[in-house]
Each structure stands twice: as C-alpha cells, then as structure tokens.
Structure 1
Amino acid sequence: MKRIGILTSGGDAPGMNAAIRAVVRSGIYNDMEVYGIRRGYAGLINGDFVKMDLGSVGDIIHRGGTILRTARSEEFKTPEGMEKALKNIEALGLEGLVVIGGDGSFRGAIELSKRGVATIGIPGTIDNDIPFTDYSIGFDTAVNTVVEAVNKIRDTATSHERTFIIEVMGRESGNLALYSGVACGAETILVPEMPFTIKDVCEKIMSGFRRGKLHSIIILAEGAGQGFDVGREIKNITGFETRIIVLGHLQRGGTPTAFDRILASQMGGKAVELLKSGVSNKMVGWVKGELLVTDLEQILTTNKPFNMELYELANILSI
C-alpha cells in the first residue's frame, strides 16, 4: 500500500490532532503518501484533499480540535454521494483510509470497505460510548475539563450556600457525567442509563443540609434531563437557591491531556500498521492497557456496558 488518506468526522475531540500526526508520520516512515481529507466525508465528496508531509503535522500534538476540520454529511449517506466519494478516491489513487470519529463515522467506513476501500477506524469521541475500547480519544481531556470547571463552581457554591447543577454533554451516554462526577466528588450524578426521581434528588440535598453541608453539586448528563427544568423542580421542592451551569462546547475544546496524546499516537501508529498488512474494516481499541483490533460491524451491533460498579461507588461516596 503506497497511498492512504485520513479524515476526522462527527464531533471533534481533543487528541484528534495527535492521531493525525501519528498516521501521517507512520505512513511516511513506511514509504506511503498520506493525504488529508478536509471536513470528513463531505471532503471525500468534494475532493477536498491535501497531501501531507512531515511539516504538515509539526507542532500540532498539543492542539485541541482537528486541523483537518470536521463536518457531518447527509449527502454521503445517499447512493449519489457515495458514488462521488468513490470516484474521487479512485482518481487520487487512495488504497486505504483511516477514519477518526464515532459510530456514525464508522458506518461510512464500513460502506467504503464493502466497495473495496481498505478502512481502519480510530475511536474519537468525548462520550466514550464506543464498545471494545476502554477509552476513546478525547474522553480523558473532557473529564478533566469538567472537573476543572466544577472546582471553580464549588468555591462560589460554598460561599453562597447554593445548589449547583452542572449540565454536561451526553445525550445517550452518561460516561462523561459519571467519571467527572466521581472525580469532583459530586453529591448527585444523573445519567440517561439510570432512572431517577426529583423527589429522591431533593431528599439527598436535604439530608446533606441537615448535617451541615453548605452546598450541593449535581452533575447532569444532557440526556437525563434539561438542567433548567431539573433546577426549577428542585427549588420548588426544597426552597434552596439553585443555579444551573451548561458547560456546552467548552467540553470539546482545550489542550489534550498526556493520556489522550499517548492513546491517539498509539492508535494512529497501529492503524497504519494494519493498512500496511492488508487489514480492513477494523477499529483500533484500547482494552486493559493493550491495543485491540475489532470488526467495525461488531462495533455497531454492540452496546458498551454502563459502568455500574463505578456508579454504585459514586452513590456510596456521596452519602
């Protein structure tokens, strides 16, 4: 294999640039030409390609976001869009493609693989909801971003003796809320995987107040409810001043942690190794400290289990 491409698709995640750097430099080391595809699958359709060299990825390992940009492409899901992408791939002579993103990005990679393009997926999402990998690129950085924000919020929460609800990303996955909640010692963690009642939440707040707690921190995944709705109900029941902070896209940005940089670098290098060996339609994961290769179809047909052990520990530690 002499010519490969790389794209980032879906939501950006800190550490994607480190993965891009690893793919480009590993590819060049193995005598490959490497082309970056700008704006994900939309770039495949529009022929938005750029040849990468060693200097193209210099001084990017510490930068958040993705230098290749990212976009969602509805056109790529159509037969016409797929045909345009395949013609551009053939015209450029790409033999393989590394796709960095989440499950939506992997669906595209599977379709390309079926049509003869060797594809390798690298999980990049702050939701950490991809199965067959303990961590996806960007998750560790996002957790640390939330924790840093909560550390600051806790100061004012204590000063004013208020309840604060911090709404974090996670429409279908509560991993970001769970891990950041444990790390910052939140009194309550609300996630879409676990049902809850406002009555129980309020009772926990009141219990803490009766034993002298000056504040209460609630971490809410957006898929578990709207922060302003939950806050209004809590205030109506308890009478406590309740403030809502929606962290939003703040969680996606920022300098990637050392863990994310190393993880992304290892996954990128492995992706090139797999393409060089003629492997296709696989994802590189990280399980129990080792790189693990899994079929992309298996990724899409398997749900990542929620960490009930950690969730139960969080409840014990927040009594």
Structure 2
Amino acid sequence: MKVAISLLVLLVFGLSCSSEPAITKEMLDGGTLFDPSLYKPEEYLLSKAIPNPTPEQARRPVIIACHGYSATTFEWDEFRSWSAGRSDFYLSRVLLGGHGRSYDDFKKSTWHDWQAAITTEYEQLVKAGYQNISLLGSSTSGALLMELVASGYFANRLAPRNLLLVDPIVIPSDKSLSLIGVVGPMIGYIATDQSAAEDKVYYHFRPQETLQQLQNLLGVVRNDLEKGVTLPANCTLKIYKSKKDPAADPVSAVLMYRGTTLADGSPVDVQMVDSELHVYTRLQLREGVTDKDRQNQTATFTDIVTRVLR
C-alpha cells in the first residue's frame, strides 16, 4: 500500500467532484496495460514453469513472493533481478486477485479475492510435490498471510517453512483510513501522487470499495492478534519493518510481535530497519534513493535467502 491522500481533505473537496476518475490508457487503471504475469504466467509462477518437478527439484526451497495493495508483481522485480542465475531456490511471484487489470476489475475485488491468488499457487505447488515452501509478503500481503495462519488454513496442509514480511500493515500511518466507511461512498475514490512510470505498475486511483476491503482485512487481523496467533510447527516468522514508514505504522510490527508466537511459544523475529520508505525493498522508479536504501535492500534480500536455505 502506498501513501494515501488524507481522506479528510478529500471529503472537503471530493463532494463537488465526479464519482468516476479520469483514467487514461497510459495508466494501469485503464485496462490497456496488464501485469505481464497474465500474459506469460510461466515466467512468474513456478506452478506453471515446472508443474511436474523431479524429486530433486521438489526438494529445492521455493519462495512465493506476494505484493501489496494496489501494486503488481513489479514490487518484487528487484528481488528477481538480484537472485537471477541462482539455482539453490525457486522464486514464484504471485499477482493478487483483482490486481494488475483494469480499475473496474480492481473495484469489484474483495480481500478474499486478493488472498485467493496466494492460496491457489500454494496449493498447486504442494499438489505438484514441492516440499519446502516459504511465503514472502510486502505490505498488505503481510496481513493476508497472517490471516491465513490465524484462520487455520495451514492446519491440515503442508506448513510453510518461513513467513517473511516486509513492512506488513496492521495499523495504517494515515489514520483517516478508519473513516472510509463513512466518507468513501461520498468521494468514490482517491488519487495518489505518483509518477507516470509508476502509473503503469500501481493503480493511480484507489476505489473506495477496495479501501473498505483493506480496512476490513486489517480489522480482522488486529482482532486475530489480540486473541493470539500461533504459527504452525516448524514455521518461523521474520518481520522487516521500516522505522519511519509513511504507509504502515511501525506499531504494526509491535502488534505482530506481541500477538504472534512460534509453535513452541517462542517469540517471532522483528528487525527495525533504518528507512523512511514503505516497502523499502522496492527502489525502482523512486526519486532520491540513497546508498543506505540500497544497502537496506541488499541486506534484506540476503537475509531472506539465508533463512530460506537453512
């Protein structure tokens, strides 16, 4: 999830605006650009690339990478590039349901639809015989993965070896998101301040229906964490959290730490990262990227792979 324009400001100005955004064909929203995984799924999904693995391939670690709200598989492009040429693990990049298509497709989607793309790939890999699967999620995918654990999805399935969450969101930095149920129907959508290049891989306009879905999901996860979430046996959790995240309040990591334990009762691992970016592992198309940002990205990619290969 990227930084949202304050809903309070939009309420003031939005009442006189059209309920439909001015979408151009150069935007992902327009329905002429689509996430490339829809055209060539075998280049993104391991289940399509190697549907019938050999015994050796089936034992090789797999990382399923899942992006955030309003994003696309682009969010993990740099991890793919960084790991290119490696043969000690597989990377499968999932496009969340309803994403990477038109504004209308996005508008109609629910958080259950977003999540279903993750479980579909997971189940196909398990059915194919892959034995060592880890789940990597950024932003809203962190909440989607936590909900899977809390709901008991893995109770009667092969459990993931690792949950690896980059800037997971439980509490938004913009607290006005809590008002979306009241002001959303009046404003219709919000527009984000992003570059034309980002418009091709992130939705420029966020339908209020999807913001309500996001708010509903976060409410479910907060409730789960208050009750306490226990990870499946032999599954670990590592949270990488930017200290000054403009979209996901750093207290999100605190809530996950307090509300989640390993199967043996041990605490989960949280690393606070010296960054002011949301999903700091994505640097492409961003302005003002520093050497520190690049160091944070490389260190996190290295740690993710190290944990998966243990």
Q: What TM-score comes out, normalization by structure 2 length?
A: 0.33
- Which structure would you say has the larger Rg? 1
Q: What TM-score comes out, normalization by structure 1 length?
A: 0.32
